[in-house]
Amino acid sequence: MHLAAYLGLCFGAWLVGALVANGVSILMGAAYAEATAATIIGFWVGKAVLKNNRRDWGGIIAFPVITFIAGLLGSVIGQVLVSQNPGSMNYSALISLVVAFGLSCALFAVLKSSYAQ
């Protein structure tokens, strides 16, 4: 798949995910928006670590799903940590990055094993 087409499809999938997140709730839409940059970084680092150079539908479909999950977990865990210690920083973006990295590594490990067959 051509890189421009792949990026366009990823952006379109992300946009659909953002619409779904906003449809779920305004707070989830905000968490989705905050997790986007961290997810992009975590997703591509996971792709680089597992040396996955393929561009396929699995990554396109998984990107907004991973963003949604990373945003949800990052927001919830970040808020819990802040409520436990009000003077601390909110680490929701860092938590989203770690969650996105872990999920993308799992995704690309599964995709890599399916390519080997």
Domain containing 91 equals 3-116
pLDDT at residue 79 greater than cutoff 70: yes
- The reported pTM is 0.76
Distance CA 10, CA 95 (A): 22
Is there a contact between 72 and 39 (Cβ–Cβ < 8 Å)? no
| Average pLDDT, integer, range 67-86 | 85
- Per-residue CA distances from 108 to 26, 42, 46, 47, 76 (Å): 31, 12, 8, 7, 26
Distance CA 41, CA 52 (A): 15
Band (44; pLDDT cuts 50, 70, 90): confident
Number of separate domains in the chain: 1
| Average pLDDT, integer, range 54-79 | 83
